[in-house]
Homo-oligomer: A and B are copies of this chain.
Amino acid sequence: MYFASDNTAGIAPEILAAIGRANTGYALGYGNDDWTGRVERRFAEIFERGVAVFLVPTGTAANALALAHLAPPWGAVLCHAESHIATDECGAPEFFGGGTKLVGLRGEGSKISAATLRRALEDGQWSGPHHVTPSVLSLSQATECGTIYRAAETKELADIAHKHGVMVHVDGARLGNALARMNVSPAEATWKAGVDALSFGATKGGAMGAEAVIFFDHKRGADMQSRRKRGGALASKHRFIAAQMEAYLEGDLWLTLARHANAMADALGAGLTAAGCKPVWPVEANEVFAPVTRDADKRLKAAGAMYYPWPAPGLDIGSDKTLVRLVTSFQTTRDDVDRFLAIVRAR
């Protein structure tokens, strides 16, 4: 019953096998290998257009490099106040950006509404020389609360952003989970909805450690090679990151894995609802945030269930309950879910 995070899972078998298959002969380092070339072409297929792709080993590097490439040092990155880039990357975007400022916006379920974005851009004190210049809107897809932006929502936000000269970045550490839920193509959910750049995550989805920075306008990627290298994020034996990504994309494995994780989250959500512990936010990806009684919490922990509490300021969940975050992954089993729910229901 390991619901602590999707990064506690291992490597999907297909991806591990791909690493093994790539371990043959010699290949030039730093991305000058066949695997990398194939991944670039595969991304172009998936997104139905030429894209600039840069593979990196961590999601934090992907986000920080992407944002630094989009915003000048005096730029502001608008994001949700609870977003990963704002709270969980120890200031990496600020560091890579030369002191870029992240401006946290509020919104239910970790989502930024069009009204909030509009107000922030129109009412805020912006622009030089005294104020930072709004440069990037960064959306998390799925969000920290397991919710997602539908393509139309992304489009509305992107239109507002672009109107103000602000580019749109998506932190897609869990993009697969969001896409598996929506009935839209990767293109429709991203650049057709106005997204300019994307951190495409594979690690949480099932890879060992592989992420991609993607620019939909090829020109935006100019010099990213240099930025990635000096950011310490250019893998020496690059073929093995590329091989992971290739396997992840092959036959849409990424969506298959995400669909499983989402289904497990759905099952958790439905079971918890039935047990009187209705999730506080819609279960739209692979995360469930549910209030459980302190008793159930104790029983679960005693049984070895792994998960983290989640702050619930402003939420009325009852004083005898505690809000917990449950994250599923490609590795989560139906059996784990059922055992978890049985313990919640027991009394």
Q: What residues of chain A have their CB less than 8 Å away from a CB belonging to chain B? A: 2, 4-5, 7-11, 16, 19-20, 22-30, 56-62, 64-65, 72-74, 87-92, 94-102, 123, 125, 128-133, 203-204, 208-209, 223, 225-237, 240-241, 306, 311, 331
* Inter-chain contacts of A11 with B (CB < 8 A): 19, 23, 237, 240
Q: B16 near A74 (CB under 8 angstroms)?
A: no
Contact of A61 among B29, B94, B232 (CB under 8 A): B232
Q: B8 near A29 (CB under 8 angstroms)?
A: yes
Known interface pairs A19-B16, A74-B91; A232-B131 also in contact (CB < 8 Å): no
Q: A58 near B98 (CB under 8 angstroms)?
A: no
Q: Can you give 11 A-B contacts (C-beta < 8 A)?
A: A8-B26, A58-B235, A62-B232, A73-B98, A90-B226, A94-B99, A95-B99, A128-B223, A129-B229, A231-B231, A232-B232
Known interface pairs A231-B95, A235-B58; A90-B74 also in contact (CB < 8 Å): yes
* Inter-chain contacts of A209 with B (CB < 8 A): 57, 209, 235-237, 240-241
Known interface pairs A7-B237, A73-B98; A60-B91 also in contact (CB < 8 Å): no
Q: A102 near B99 (CB under 8 angstroms)?
A: no
**What number of copies of this chain does the assembly contain?**
4
* Inter-chain contacts of A91 with B (CB < 8 A): 73-74, 99-101, 132, 230
A306 to chain B, nearest CB (A): 7
Known interface pairs A74-B91, A226-B129, A232-B56; A23-B27 also in contact (CB < 8 Å): no
Q: B29 near A230 (CB under 8 angstroms)?
A: no
* Inter-chain contacts of A25 with B (CB < 8 A): 2, 10
Q: How far is the CA of A19 from the CA of B100 in the complex (A)?
A: 36
Closest to A20 in B: B16
* Inter-chain contacts of A64 with B (CB < 8 A): 232
Q: A232 near B65 (CB under 8 angstroms)?
A: yes
* Inter-chain contacts of A28 with B (CB < 8 A): 4-5, 8
Q: How far is the CA of A128 from the CA of B227 in the complex (A)?
A: 9
Contact of A232 among B60, B203, B236, B311 (CB under 8 A): B60
Known interface pairs A65-B232, A73-B98, A233-B232; A225-B58 also in contact (CB < 8 Å): no
* Inter-chain contacts of A306 with B (CB < 8 A): 26
Q: B5 near A29 (CB under 8 angstroms)?
A: yes
Known interface pairs A11-B240, A209-B240; A129-B234 also in contact (CB < 8 Å): yes
Q: How far is the CA of A100 from the CA of B171 in the complex (A)?
A: 21
Q: A16 near B7 (CB under 8 angstroms)?
A: no
A5 to chain B, nearest CB (A): 6
Q: How far is the CA of A5 from the CA of B98 in the complex (A)?
A: 30
Q: B74 near A227 (CB under 8 angstroms)?
A: yes
* Inter-chain contacts of A8 with B (CB < 8 A): 26-29
